Amino acid sequence: MTVLTAASRLSTEPLLSVRDLCVEFPTRHGVLHALDRVSFDIAPGEILGVVGESGAGKSLTGAALIGLLEPPGRVSGGEIWFEGRRIDDLSPEAMRSLRGRKIGAIFQDPLTSLNPLFTVGQQLTETIRAHLPLDAREARARAIDLLRQTGIPAPEARIDQYPHQFSGGMRQRVVIALALAAEPKLIVADEPTTALDVSIQAQIIGLLKRVCREHGAAVMLVTHDMGVIAETCDRVAVMYAGRVVEIGPVDQVINCPAHPYTIGLMASIPSMSDERERLQQIDGAMPRLNAMPSGCAFHPRCPQAGPRCSREVPVLMDVASTRAACWVHAAQGVSA
């Protein structure tokens, strides 16, 4: 069992490196650009949260990483590097092998990840034997151990049950066990707690944190819940209209946000100490892919927008310990 300390995380090279990732969808009316030059790194053992409104591109980024873009969606630019190897240009067969062995996936609805016609044990042992050199008896023993690690009571008995015999929270634990079956280095978790009640959410969050600590796995956690981000993640990337608008340590982004969109997100969260009659809101709505404004996509809703914001797309710039894509900081002399 490998336990990664904070110091060792900082000294290692990125496990995953995404550079200028672009995803597009060809349609009869033209090409829709869903992701526009998305870049970030994830270190071994790190949990990176990806947050934003519905349609911001969070889940699409995760799908692009694991090679599960729905046609006609396609990666149209940029590079994805994993363990020093470029993976965005792999063949479907090579990507399928990598996805099972090195990269695990946890999806929002466990019912879409589990086959209702097979027992949980059959699905676990099949996954294990596909990626690890184990016989049927050894694979079953590992499956039982994975169920035990993920908090399934009486795993020796429940391994032979079907998905419909598990509650929602237990099914999500089974999906996490499936993601861990081949001891992956990276787990892409797409809204893993959204369909669960608050108490089960806390258990799943604790489980993900323990997986990182004990197995040294990195996690890309896609969510719209800032509470989950604050409780779970080391760093957070804020997405808006297919772009990363701010990225940095979670405490810094939450307490001292640098991008106007992040500032609006933080201000819209109710506080336990403030006595406000109305919550603050961000006026307007996120633009549609076929009606993307020029320059910064957020400028029609931004209270700090200037003439440059409508003409040029901002790049990520260093702002204290975070990076924000906002021309306000360029005007203040912050280096890009």
Provide the pLDDT for residue 332. Answer: 60
**DSSP for 215-275, written as a single string:** H--EEEEE-S-HHHHHHH-SEEEEEETTEEEEEEEHHHHHHS--SHHHHHHHHTS--SS--
Provide the pLDDT for residue 11. Answer: 45
Torsion angle in degrees (nearest 10) through CA of 99, 244, 109, 166: 80
Provide the pLDDT for residue 3. Answer: 45
Q: Which residues 6+ apart lie within 8 Å of 24 measured at CB?
A: 31, 32, 33, 34, 73, 74, 76
Indicate left, alpha or beta for 201 from its phi (over 0: left) and psi (-120 to 50: alpha): alpha
Provide the pLDDT for residue 331. Answer: 60
CB–CB of 234/47 below 8 Å? yes
Provide the pLDDT for residue 274. Answer: 67
Q: Measured between alpha carbons, how far is 137 from 158 in angstroms, rounded to an integer?
A: 17
Q: Measured between alpha carbons, how far is 189 from 110 in angstroms, rounded to an integer?
A: 12
Q: Measured between alpha carbons, how far is 221 from 200 in angstroms, rounded to an integer?
A: 17
**Rounded percentage of the chain residues whose pLDDT exceeds 70:** 92
**Rounded percentage of the chain residues whose pLDDT exceeds 90:** 59
The answer to whether residue 335 scores a pLDDT higher than 50 is no
Provide the pLDDT for residue 263. Answer: 92
Provide the pLDDT for residue 113. Answer: 83
The mean per-residue pLDDT over the stretch 94-98 comes to: 90
Q: DSSP 3-state assignment of 188? A: strand
The answer to whether residue 270 scores a pLDDT higher than 60 is yes
Provide the pLDDT for residue 2. Answer: 42
Quick check: pTM over 0.85?
yes
Q: DSSP 3-state assignment of 87? A: coil
